[in-house]
């Protein structure tokens, strides 16, 4: 499962290692400058991702330091970017550090833009996230160019970002500013995803940014860690924060997907599943490989379209981030399920897609997961008109995305013929949704994450969810745990004394 794109990222880091070493020495000198200790306070400013899903970005500031946490885009809403222009974020060149919780584009897509605006400091994240973010950002630029959109930055900025990245292992305490220490913990969401714990001053205040979390174990990862010595303030994702946001049991979800695929096979149809290249695709690959191996699912080709194969190669390269049993199979049992014969890469472009669409029953995993562009658009065109085929949603579909509109029942959709001709496309295939595969915790999981923290935080800001999700989750936490909670808007600043 080798990948030239993955190799390019790795080769670049090797080629630039001397310059990177000098950069690390400079960062170390800046971190250990003498702090002033005039007054003590902590502020969190919301630059995005409040009462919405997407464009995650926050400023954590103290009298000594300013840290940017995440810098993503908003799925399905071109041009809606984090509010980097507000005074709390400027000048960008003077930020002390950037911390990235994980590589999904709604958290990482616009991070290279900082270097275009003059930032020259470090980016702290896990080693796996470093490789994944470079991969996804380069694909982000490629998709934009193919669809006739102007990319917000050039690939050279991705190179700068990689050169400035400092990797941090889970559990290691790292000085990132004169008065801030960072510790990353497993978030259980995707490969390398992290909950970021910031220890401010000499024990003055502790702030945790959850990023995106999955609190229970999955086939891929152990559940999110919430074991912190102290937390006064928690900035908490609320994607599935509504009162009735309960996901189907994982076994039931897997059984339903298997049944849908078998039913489609029996009527000589094709199944297409929109999936994120990172996370849901690998989870589904494990489910499908096991079901075919155990004869619960008809054996058929599983085509991977988009950056799925490259992202899967990175999963194989970092087995230490995977769940214990899966790591054992890859490292010691020589049973890498990602290398099963059924998995085939779509590498022949549109001509190969047309051949697959006109051929035998099969399964297609294709990006993008929210149907916001990429190869999934070709599959809608090729397969959507045949009622024998099936589209299965297995992940969250954000408001404003084409995926949400199709999931909600829209069958006449706008379609652009590769950036030129625009028309309406009529979908006649079966559309199904199966919960239980999401990389996000449901309402129970979110409450358990907070409720099992010891000690619990004094306040929680509920973010990364639509307005009903953040409001209902905020209210629920207050009522259940008697914690001060808020559902902030974008461009608000909260001071913690």
367, 284 contact by CB (below 8 A): no
Selected from 3.40.50.10330, 3.40.50.300, 3.40.50.10890, 3.40.1550.10, the CATH number assigned to the domain covering 250-433 reads: 3.40.50.10890
The phi, psi pair for 355, rounded to 5°, reads -65, -45
Residue 20, pLDDT score: 65
Indicate the fold that domain 4-243+439-496 takes in CATH: Metallo-beta-lactamase; Chain A (3.60.15)
- Report the pLDDT averaged over residues 254-261: 96
Q: Are 85 and 34 in contact (CB under 8 A)?
A: no
pLDDT of residue 42: 95
Is the dihedral angle over the CA atoms 475, 438, 458, 489 positive or is it negative? negative
- Whole-number pLDDT of residue 79: 81
pLDDT at 50: 97
Q: With bands split at pLDDT 50, 70 and 90, how would you rate the model's confidence at 470?
A: very high
| pLDDT band, very low/low/confident/very high, at 376 (cuts 50, 70, 90) | very high
The per-residue pLDDT for 202 is 87
Confidence of residue 37 (pLDDT cuts 50, 70, 90): low
**Which residues belong to CATH 3.60.15.10 in the chain?**
4-243+439-496
Q: Which pLDDT value is given to residue 22?
A: 66
Q: What is the pLDDT of residue 117?
A: 92
495 vs 483: CA distance, rounded Å: 17
Cα(494)–Cα(43) distance, integer angstroms: 5
| 30-39, 189-198, 209-218, 438-447: segment of lowest average pLDDT | 30-39
| pLDDT at residue 324, as a whole number | 85
pLDDT at 2: 43
Q: Which pLDDT tens digit goes with each residue over 122-174? A: 999 999 999 999 999 998 998 888 878 888 999 999 999 999 999 999 999 99
Residue in 124, 253, 102, 250 with CA at minimum distance from that of residue 188: 102
pLDDT in tens, 74-93: 987 878 899 999 999 999 99
Give pLDDT tens digits for 377-391. Answer: 999 999 999 999 999
Residue 1's pLDDT band (boundaries 50, 70, 90)? Answer: very low
**Ramachandran region of residue 201, left (φ > 0), alpha (ψ -120 to 50) or beta?**
left
Mean predicted confidence (pLDDT) in 393-415:
89
**The predicted structure's pLDDT at residue 435:** 85
Return the pLDDT at 12.
Answer: 62
CATH 3.40.50.10890 segments of the chain: 250-433
Global confidence as pTM: 0.88
A 10 A CB-CB count for 111 gives: 27
């Amino acid at each position: 499962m080798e990948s030239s794109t993955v190799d390019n990222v790795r080769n670049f880091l090797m080629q630039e290692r001397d310059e990177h070493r000098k950069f690390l020495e400079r960062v170390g000198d800046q971190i250990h400058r003498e702090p002033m200790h005039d007054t003590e306070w902590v502020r969190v400013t919301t630059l995005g991702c409040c009462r919405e899903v997407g464009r995650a970005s926050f400023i954590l500031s103290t009298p000594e330091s300013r840290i940017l946490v995440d810098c993503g885009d908003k799925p399905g809403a071109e041009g809606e970017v984090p509010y980097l222009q507000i005074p709390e974020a400027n000048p960008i060149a003077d930020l002390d550090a950037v911390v990235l919780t994980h590589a999904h584009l709604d958290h990482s897509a616009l991070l290279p833009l900082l270097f275009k605006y003059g930032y020259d400091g470090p980016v702290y994240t896990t080693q796996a996230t470093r490789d994944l973010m470079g991969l996804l950002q380069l694909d982000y630029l490629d998709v934009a160019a193919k669809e006739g959109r102007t990319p917000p930055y050039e690939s050279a900025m991705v190179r700068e970002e990689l050169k400035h990245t400092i990797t941090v292992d889970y559990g290691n305490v790292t000085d990132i500013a004169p008065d801030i220490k960072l510790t990353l913990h497993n978030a259980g969401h995707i490969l390398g995803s992290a909950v970021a714990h910031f220890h401010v001053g000499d024990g003055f205040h502790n702030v945790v940014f959850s990023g995106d979390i999955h609190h229970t174990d999955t086939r891929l990862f152990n559940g999110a860690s919430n074991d912190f010595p102290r937390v006064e303030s928690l900035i908490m994702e609320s994607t599935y924060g509504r009162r009735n946001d309960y996901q189907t049991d994982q076994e039931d979800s897997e059984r339903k997907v298997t049944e849908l695929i078998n039913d489609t096979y029996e009527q000589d149809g094709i199944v297409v599943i929109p999936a994120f290249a990172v996370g849901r695709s690998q989870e589904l690959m494990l489910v499908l490989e096991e079901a075919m191996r155990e004869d619960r699912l008809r054996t058929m080709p599983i085509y991977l379209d988009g950056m799925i194969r490259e992202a899967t190669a990175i999963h194989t390269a970092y087995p230490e981030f995977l769940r214990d049993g899966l790591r054992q199979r890859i490292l010691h049992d020589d049973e890498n399920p990602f290398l099963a014969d059924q998995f085939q890469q779509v590498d022949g472009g549109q001509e190969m897609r047309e051949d697959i669409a006109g051929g035998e029953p099969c399964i297609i995993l294709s990006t993008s997961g929210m149907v916001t562009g990429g190869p999934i658009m070709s599959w809608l065109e090729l397969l959507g008109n045949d009622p024998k085929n099936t589209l299965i949603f297995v992940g969250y579909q954000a408001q404003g995305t084409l995926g949400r509109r199709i999931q909600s029942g829209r069958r006449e959709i706008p379609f652009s013929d590769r950036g030129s001709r625009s028309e309406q496309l009529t979908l006649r295939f079966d559309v199904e949704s199966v919960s239980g595969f999401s990389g996000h915790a449901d309402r129970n999981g979110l409450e358990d994450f907070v409720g099992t923290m010891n000690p619990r935080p004094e306040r929680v800001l509920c973010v990364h969810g639509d307005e009903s999700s953040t409001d209902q989750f905020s209210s629920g936490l207050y009522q259940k745990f008697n914690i001060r909670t808020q559902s902030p808007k974008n461009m608000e600043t909260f001071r913690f004394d």
